[in-house]
């Protein structure tokens, strides 16, 4: 959770797209102050556990259910502070995640991240 990412975008998660295996844990590190982590409504798989970090809280979340998890920093949601964690290879909930309503810059930023999911999941072997 940073105030500026290596590409110069303000208010970001780094990395904003992450692929992990089921059962892996992710720690949200408060590198800069004033951020939190929580899922975006409608952007996590069915039956998945939810989480809600407090501002400045470093939380560790374990992801057991495969699928796409869209998450945000609540204060900077509209500024585009969003991320995706892909758990396993399932993209079953990607379509419903794509239709989630996002405010302001979150919309275009999330579209960039969803494109990365597509690359990772459907790229043909060379």
| In the complex, least distance from residue 101 CB atom to Cu ion, rounded to whole angstroms | 19
Using rule CB under 5 A, residue 109 touches Cu ion: no
Using rule CB under 5 A, residue 81 touches Cu ion: yes
| In the complex, least distance from residue 72 CB atom to Cu ion, rounded to whole angstroms | 8
Give residues 16-35 in contact with Cu ion (rule: CB under 5 A). 35
| In the complex, least distance from residue 12 CB atom to Cu ion, rounded to whole angstroms | 8
In terms of C-beta distances under 8 Å and separation of at least 24 residues, what long-range contacts does 25-29 make, across chains too? 25/60, 25/61, 25/62, 25/63, 26/60, 26/61, 26/63, 26/85, 27/58, 27/59, 27/60, 27/61, 28/1, 28/53, 28/57, 28/58, 28/59, 28/60, 28/61, 29/1, 29/58
Using rule CB under 5 A, residue 40 touches Cu ion: no
The residue ranges that bind Cu ion (CB under 5 A) are: 11, 35, 73, 76, 81
């Amino acid at each position: 959770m940073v105030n500026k990412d290596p590409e110069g975008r303000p208010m970001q998660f780094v990395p904003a797209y992450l692929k992990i295996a089921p059962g892996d844990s992710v720690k949200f590190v408060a590198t800069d102050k004033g951020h939190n982590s929580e899922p975006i409504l409608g952007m996590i798989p069915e039956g998945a556990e939810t989480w809600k970090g407090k501002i400045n809280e470093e939380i560790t979340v374990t992801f057991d259910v495969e699928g796409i998890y869209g998450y945000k920093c609540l204060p900077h949601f509209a500024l585009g502070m969003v991320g995706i964690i892909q758990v396993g290879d399932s993209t079953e909930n990607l379509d419903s995640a794509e239709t989630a309503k996002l405010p302001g810059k979150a919309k275009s930023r999330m579209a960039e991240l969803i494109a990365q999911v597509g690359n990772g999941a459907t790229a043909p072997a060379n």
